Structure 1
Amino acid sequence: MNKRNKQWLVALSTAVALTAAVPAAAYADKAVPDLRAGTTEGSSAVPIKAEETAPVNTAISKEKAISLAKSYVSIPADYKIQNVSLYNRMDINTKRNVWNLSFVKTVNGKHKGSIEVSLDADNGDMIGFNTYIDDPGAKPSYPLKVNREKAQEVALSFLAKMSPRLKDQVRLNADYGADAKPPLNGQVRHSLRYDRMVGEFPFVGNYIDIEVDSEGRVLSYQVNWNADIKFEQVKPGMTMTEAMAKIRETAKPELVYVVPYQMKQPRKPVLSYELQPIVLDAVTGEVQQSAGNSSQISTAPLAEKALGTKPKNGKNLTREQAAQTVKDHFTVPAGAAQEQANYNEYTDEYSGITTAEWNIGWTLKDGDKEIGNVNASVDSRTGIIRSFNSYTWQQQAGQSMKRIAYADARTKAVELVKKQLPWLVQELYLSEPSEVEIKRMNDEQSSEYSFRFVHKVGDARIDYNNVRVSIDAYSGEVRNYYANIAEFDYPEQAPAVISRDKAVDAWLDYYKLELTYVLDSDFVWNGSPISREKYNLMVASGELQPGEGLAEPKTKLVFRLVSKPIDEPVFLDAQTGQWRNQTTGDAASLEKPQASDIEGHWAQRELELMVAYKALDVADGKVRPNQVITRGELIKMLVLSMNSGRSPILYSGAESAKSSFDDVSADSSYFVYVQNALEQNLIDRGDGSFNPEGKVDREEMAELIVRALGYNPLAERNELFNLTFKDADKTEQKGQAAIVIGLGIMSLKDGNFVPDREVTRAEAAAAFFRFLSVSADLKEAPLRND
């Protein structure tokens, strides 16, 4: 029997199974470990032998840690302990000894699940656990058995058992996790955060994170807490209203060009207004700046006008020519051998533009020992150098150990950029480091000076362009150069934009004001505060030893702006004042879509889910559940359902970006969904028209659903099905109707399929609600209509 016939038998057996309604019990949930707090009777984890005990000096031994973990979390008998480790964890500025225990479930050598438990090795408290279950077919059930409100009760109960000393010192962060839409597939996880309270104010640097699934199981628990922090009991010097007025007065929205990467064609820069979160000292009312984030962009560009013209595309450089181009502009150490030269052509998936480049590498050796390397990237058609990196592991003979001055390094970086990008210097501005950062770079332990250049057109910064230079602090040579300049046209005349006050008003709708304690400084180096990220980097590089440079943790009471929970990333269009989606550029809203006409409707939960994912549009606060759905709306709903709620991506350089239907243009709101449906063979091109506003009957919806499941070729064999509905003779797509009825996705009306009955928006929402559940069980569809 050939492969095709075997496949057909598989499909045939599936068809037979679909001839009767599929009971809900057929989709019983797979067993998962019960991770509620409690003991584990009968657990048969592998015992740890005494001689395996690590020679560590902690109050809690390894054996005790394993015993405690099993008392805190129910660990199923088929989970065996695989890994035990002891490490130091930094909780702000306090080192903590932590046992990390990993219990793993394997089936036939395959990893099927794990439970990781972390314990304080000095007092035995559980400070965290995580679970992982390999269940790719997991699907949510709606309505959820445990919703977010009920999950909060489960989380509080668990917290009280695990951390009784902390339960009265926390408060639910109502916004954390609240913006997450319910998943269309996979496991539902309610993410909850409980912030530490100090008197009446929260300290957001300490919190407890808990995840609860829709079955009421605690899936993860993480304690981020430091009892050593001292809080100065102060009272705010202004009210929330006064603080907001001060923020409104001092806010400086910035004009920035952005390009949404899934923007409809033609893809082009959009002028936006940005406003970074503002922080006020709650006592003094002063605007705060964090160390390392206080650089200022120079008020003048590198030059008043261009110093040259941009090289045009020409004949591709040879490998030798590309290497010589690098040597003409940068220092390649004497004796360095060229050992790499790779040519690459790349077509940008969004713009369709093809670029070509040489990536060339040199290696510097001392005898047989490699002591450094040089790498560069050169545009093969223009000769423009895109990047250069030079690094040596040891000081070369004769090289001076005297540091060059910061001012000299700055001059060298500016001159380099002028030489490499002469056609752009009138639009490039140096981002001046702060005094603290300059002091850090001037320190003897710092081996380089780093500089960043900002690209601006008029008063607007270009968000996606980036020029960086670093100069060796001893040799004065260029250590790193990177220039990423996207090719877009910008208006010669600055476009009209909304007023500064309107931009501030819009952003203050995006943010909310909160009064909270924050860390004033984490770490100190040479008398100056440094960020946690910088500290970790210095420890990793060996510049600091763990624990060195720690400052006494200090806190400050502040008013700060934080973003409200919203369903999509947005930016503010500076010309229209409209919020737009950062990904697509489409119109967006800060408010979650709400429909006022579905309360108490028989399909309320199904409609709410579709509205949450914008599979159904809401106009004037109404979703119109009893209105007949259009072909465009149905395709959008189907594609979103198949794609876990995400809009499909179409690339401008691909054929799919061209309109395939005469009546669905590239600027249509249905374009990406119709094109994606065509690519997946859910619809046919036919005579070249799609009719997006056409009404949909039950027979057409059944065919679309069956195609999405991958069973349409099977459905065409009508003789395989035991047709039980009365009006089978009036139904042209008999196999499709039998499948959707058999799977419970659609239902009969008094024993009839009623193929020509038009489908309402509510009926379509209900059908795709059930499609989401069924498709997880049929994820390995045997056939496609290719």
Structure 2
Amino acid sequence: MKLIKKAAPIAVASALLLSIAPQAWAADEPAATASTQSSLPFPGQQEGKTVEPTVTKEQAIELAKKYVTIPADYKLESASLNAFWGYAGQNIPSWSLNYTKKIKDHYYANINVSIHGLNGKLTGYNAYTADPEKKPSYPPKVDFQAAKNIADGWLKKLNPDETVQYNDQAEKSFRTPLNGNYTYNIRYDRVVNGVIFPQDGINVDVNGEGDVLGYSFRWTDGVTFEQGVQPIGLEKALQAFRDKADIALSYEIPYQPREERKPIITYSMNNFMIDAGKGQPWNPLNLPVLSGSDKKPLTDKPLAGKPASDLNLTKEEAIAKATAAFGLLKGYKLDNASYNEQIDPTTGKTSASWSLRWNVDSSDKDSKLRGFEGAWANVNAKTGEVTNFSRNIPYTVDGQTKFEPKVGLDEAKKKAIEFVRQYLPAHTHQLVLDDAGLQQVSEEQLKELRTWDIRFNRVIDGVNANHENVSIGIDRETGQIVNYYGSLSEIDYPTTKPEVISEEKAKDLLFSQYDVQLSYVASQGFGTYAGNSIMDQKLKVMIAAGEIPPSALNASGKVEAKLVYTLVSKYTREPFFLDAQNGQWRNASNGEPIVLETVKATDIDGHWAQRELQLMLDYQALDLKDGKVIPNQAMTRGEMIKMLVIAMNGGNYGIYYGAERTASFKDVANGSAYFAYVENGVDRGLIDPGTNFNPNEKMSREDMSQLIVRALGYKQLAENQDVFNKNFADASELKHVGQVAIVVGLGIMSLSDGSFKPSEDVNRAQAATAFFRYLQKREELQQAPRFY
């Protein structure tokens, strides 16, 4: 194995590397069986023949035992031969072996191994056990570096000849986990000519105990890598990205905000690659690099007011609205009509709609609709507006996948604009035609387009409205509208653009979240991979159904990889966006301000609780004040419940309660910074609802002991005070002897000169330490896994 330790690869690598899914448990008596699964044929496939394996079942079994440790009490449950599509139009064989361990007819553990049917390589491994005696420890026994060392050992054993590079993206985003049941995902990317090819590579999964639970290998054969290119260099590549980036203003709405859902104006940019030799934008599959088009709406003012919302359409009236907009569906018959009402979580308004479905009338022997499947429509029952319409049409025309269209782009755009003006007159002043992609489609690709897809973006005073748009699909043969989708909401957007930071400053911030990386990327197709390639299977089905053209895949057997520069995200822990008004990063889930870099306090280096305080800072369970954590500052009740809830939720602080949630305490209303944590604490039984919570009061040691005992699930046990040791010097001052005895007995909290000091305030360092110990004991005391 040749291992290169350098920078991180492109972000798409993990998406393109698909691991092997575990086989389903066999229902009958365990037995080794073999079966062949054929791939679906599709237009453009050369042979479609399954390649016969050169590795027999018996050889695959022996190889599996060589590669991984399979305990003697594991029995071979099944051996399946599967076939997966490859670049040369062939189906590549792969053996999938499933080993299980049973105890009293219950499945106890399993190991899945995948062996390449041609070269005998290990392409996949997954292990699972429900051993009740094996509980994870906290903190994990192995840290990230130790897990990487274990993964390196697997590479040296299994892949001594492949040249790979360690992908440090996961390590850069790593935070110490909040539970012991943790898996480190160690990734290595293929290297060719000193450049990474991240669509190929190796994944090794190591748990906190140091056990390898997963392995996957993808290595594409027959790739031609671009040669003779002199890269322009990282500095010029970064400048090319800046010059070509389309910076746009948009309104984003967090889907789980702490307060009422309101639009936040943001800056964003398109994602693309740069041709390493030419310095121009490029992307795979020869698709055009999309960019923003003119922001001028169809009209300066709306052509009409918004329709009244009091129609309450009947089924017949809804059908009439749909057929008036899209024409009578001759040869179809209505198959289903359903009425639905729902409350919009964003606006709180009740909406009603009719969902209509037509199928081709099979009784019409003279029907010209052979190959057509049906049509669907949604009609707003209150306003009479048609919100969706779709008519399935075959991809081919007279058996041909390429044809000369009878309807040109200009004619299609004109028809789409006329439709919008007629049926969406109240929105024409906010709808902008976006045809940038269509204008860049090559002549060859145009011959395979069955429909013109005309898109109108909703833009309000130059700001895109939360990805809202209207999309119209026009048949290039008949000129009919065969697809229509409108996502225009009733959200209260600003009518004029707010004050925002400059576009140049926004670019600085947006590009600060990326590194520029030189890499190879396959120009077409998705590679030969003897594994469970869900992507390949889905694409073949889509092509066979006529949903995408065959040229989306390279079935010629020629695979080319291009040398490009890519933007590599530095931060992958959670989705976020850039607030255009103040330049802050915000969590996409709740809209709260976040810091992308690891939070560092200036006053905890060398502190006795540095590890515990840093852990709480990493998950924003503690807030900094002027860059300081102030370890000796007393914790408030609000801060304490926030810390505990975040710790119990595994670091997820995006807890959401809508306006319908009634506050459990008068002094922590919906919209308070502590509301979600207090309500979650109530739901978890950590605190009981009452008149006041007093979030700004200091937290006492005895009150903290109650929270921890409830978090452990020992509330009822603690109430049996007679069974607990009361030998505390200040036992007479305790209101909750059971709770104090539990936290002291478990070592979560300690005594001082034999006294617990129940009324003493808890400071930040003490709280972080107590919760760290709580996490340790939670792992030790958790219930054993159940058999299934």
- Higher mean alpha-carbon deviation, 356-365 vs 81-90, is at 81-90
- With over 3 angstroms needed to count, the CA separation of the structure-2 counterparts of 1:235 and 1:329, relative to structure 1, is closer
Q: Which residue of 2 aligns with 1:294?
A: 289
Q: Which residue of 1 aligns with 2:217?
A: 223
Quick one: distance in 1 between partners of 2:396 and 2:84? 35
**Inter-CA distance 687–47: structure 2 relative to 1 (3 Å threshold):** closer
- Structure 1 match to 2:694: 691
Which residue identity lines up with residue 378 of structure 2 in the other structure?
S
Cα distance between partner residues in 2 of 1:681 and 1:506: 42
Distance (whole Å) between structure 2 residues aligned to residue 733 and residue 321 of structure 1: 67
Greater mean alpha carbon deviation, residues 147-156 or residues 558-567: 558-567
Alpha-carbon distance between aligned partners in 2 of 1:513 and 1:548, rounded to the nearest angstrom: 28
Match of 2:357 among 361, 385, 393: 361
Deviations 1:467-525 (A, max 9, x none): 2222334443332221112222232332221112101111121111112222234489x
The alpha-carbon distance between structure 1 residues 596 and 86, as it changes in their structure 2 partners (threshold 3 A), is farther
Residue 339 of structure 2: aligned partner: 343
Query: Do residues 643 (structure 1) and 643 (structure 2) align?
Result: no
CA distance in 2, matches of 1:681, 1:76: 43
| Pick aligned residue for 2:514 from 511, 535, 538 | 511
- Structure-2 residue corresponding to 1:69: 64
SS of residue paired to 2:594: coil
Q: Distance in 1 between matches of 2:134 and 2:346?
A: 34
Q: Distance in 2 between matches of 1:324 and 1:512?
A: 55
What does residue 569 of structure 2 align with? 563
Residue of structure 1 in register with 2:318 after alignment: 322
Q: Please say if residues 518 and 566 of structure 2, whose CA atoms lie closer than 8 Å, have aligned partners that are also in contact.
A: yes
Distance apart, 1:704 and its partner CA: 1.6
Aligned letter for 1:147? D
Out of 41, 53, 60, the position equivalent to 1:58 is: 53
d(CA) in 2 for partners of 1:350, 1:69: 53
> 2:589 aligns to what?
583
2:377 maps to what in 1?
A: 376
Aligned-partner Cα distance in 2 for 1:735–1:602: 29
Mapped to 1, the partners of 2:536 and 2:455 lie a distance apart of 21
Give 2:41's aligned residue. Answer: none
Q: Does 1:718 align with 2:721?
A: yes
- 2:653 corresponds to which letter in structure 1? S
Q: Secondary structure at the match of 2:517?
A: strand
Q: Among residues 771, 775, 778, which one is paired with 2:774 in the alignment?
A: 771
How far is 1:386 from its partner? 1.6
Alignment of 1:531-542 (within 5 A): 536=540, 538-541=542-545
Task: Say whether the 8 Å CA contact 1:539–1:545 is kept in structure 2.
Answer: no
Aligned to 1:558, the other structure's residue is in SS state strand
- Structure 1: how far apart are the matches of 2:218 and 2:266? 37
**Partner Cα distance (1:476, 1:53) in 2:** 41
Equivalence map 1:456-495=2 (5 Å):
456-495=459-498
Amino acid at match of 1:577: G
> What is the percent sequence identity of the aligned residues?
38
Does structure 1 residue 155 correspond to structure 2 residue 155?
A: no
1:86 is paired with a residue of what secondary structure? strand
- Matched with 2:45 is none
One-letter amino acid of the structure 2 residue matched with residue 676 of structure 1: N
Residue pairs, 1:55-134, within 5 angstroms: 57-90=52-85, 96-107=92-103, 111-133=107-129
| Higher mean C-alpha displacement, 122-131 vs 458-467 | 458-467
Give the structure 1 partner of residue 46 of structure 2: none
* Pairing partner for 1:190 from 184, 192, 203: 184
Distance in 2, matches of 1:693 and 1:606, equals: 23
Matches within 5 A, 1:510-659: 510-522=513-525, 536=540, 538-541=542-545, 544=550, 549-550=555-556, 552-647=558-653, 649-656=655-662
Q: Which residue of 1 aligns with 2:407?
A: 405
Q: Look up the match of 1:747.
A: 750
TM-score computed with the length of structure 1 as normaliser: 0.83
Instruction: Give the number of equivalent residue pairs.
Output: 722
Larger RCO of the pair (alpha carbons < 8 Å, separation 6+): 2
Provide, for residues 280-310 of structure 1, a one-character-per-residue CA deviation record: whole Å limited to 9, x for no partner: 2222323335533434554243334322222
Please point out which of 670, 673, 689 is paired with 2:674: 670
Is 1:758 the counterpart of 2:761? The answer is: yes
Whole-angstrom distance in 2 between the partners of 1:187 and 1:493: 50
1:697/1:756 contact within 8 Å kept: yes
Distance 1:49 1:760, change over 3 A: closer
Deviations 1:697-726 (A, max 9, x none): 111011122233444344334334343433
- CA deviations on 1:605-635 (whole Å, 9 max, x unpaired) are 3323222211112334432223222111100
Q: 2:136 & 2:146 partners in 1: Cα distance?
A: 16
Counterpart of 1:328 in 2: which secondary structure? Answer: helix
* Aligned CA distance change for structure 1 residues 416 and 150 (closer, same or farther; 3 Å): same
Alpha-carbon offset, residue 382 of structure 1: 1.4
Alignment counterpart, residue 250 of structure 2, candidates 232, 242, 256: 256
How many Å apart are 1:136 and its aligned residue? 10
Letter in 2 for 1:405: V
**Distance in 2, Cα, partners of 1:356 & 1:264:** 28
Of 494, 498, 503, the residue aligned with 2:501 is 498
How far residue 110 of structure 1 moved from its aligned partner, in angstroms, is 5.1
> Could you tell me how far 1:564 is from its partner in structure 2?
0.7
Aligned-partner Cα distance in 2 for 1:57–1:482 = 46
Does the CA-based 8 Å contact 1:136-1:186 persist in structure 2? no
- Structure 1 gap segments, 5+ residues each: 1-44, 525-530, 782-786
After TM superposition, the structure 1 stretch with the greater mean CA deviation from structure 2, 151-160 or 299-308, is 299-308
Change (3 A) 1:654 1:104: farther
Q: How far apart, CA to CA, are the structure 1 residues paired with 2:589 and 2:666?
A: 26
RMSD: 3.6
Q: Within 2, Cα distance between the matches of 1:50 and 1:396?
A: 41
The alpha-carbon deviation at position 162 of structure 1 amounts to 0.7
Helix, strand or coil for the counterpart of 1:708?
helix
Residues in 1 aligned to 2:394 and 2:87: alpha-carbon distance in whole angstroms: 33
CA distance in 2, matches of 1:774, 1:138: 15
Deviation at 1:604, TM superposition (A): 3.2
1:199 pairs with one of 188, 193, 205: 193
Do 2:138 and 2:180's aligned partners in 1 also have CA atoms closer than 8 Å?
Answer: no
Shift of 1:237: 4.4
> Distance between the aligned counterparts of 1:459 and 1:137, measured in 2?
61
Whole-angstrom CA distance in 2 between matches of 1:647 and 1:136 = 31
Q: Counterpart of 1:413 in 2: which secondary structure? A: helix
Unaligned regions of 5+ residues in structure 2, if any? 1-28, 39-49, 528-534
Letter in 1 for 2:115: L
Q: Which residue of 2 aligns with 1:421?
A: 424
1:229 Cα deviation after fit: 1.9
Amino acid at match of 2:556: L
Going from structure 1 to structure 2, the CA distance change for 1:479 and 1:567 (only over 3 Å counts) comes to same
List per-residue Cα deviations over 1:724-743 (Å, max 9, x = no partner).
Answer: 43322210111222232344
Change (3 A) 1:620 1:50: closer
Deviation at 1:139, TM superposition (A): 6.6
The match for 1:270 is 264
Change in Cα spacing, 1:491 to 1:482, as seen in structure 2 (3 Å) is same
TM value normalised by structure 2: 0.83
Report the Cα distance in structure 2 between the residues aligned to 1:745 and 1:288, rounded to whole angstroms.
57
CA distance in 1, matches of 2:404, 2:191: 51
Check whether the contact 2:109–2:128 (CA below 8 A) recurs between aligned residues.
Answer: yes
The whole-number CA distance in structure 2 between the counterparts of 1:746 and 1:272 is 45
C-alpha contact 2:260 2:659 (8 A) present in aligned 1? no
Measure the CA separation in 2 of the matches of 1:686 and 1:548: 66
Find the aligned partners of 1:212 and 1:672 in 2 and give their Cα distance.
34
**C-alpha displacement of 1:207:** 1.7
Q: After the TM superposition, which of the residue ranges 666-675 and 623-632 deviates more from structure 2?
A: 666-675
Instruction: Report the alpha carbon displacement of residue 692 of structure 1 after superposing the two structures with TM.
Output: 2.1
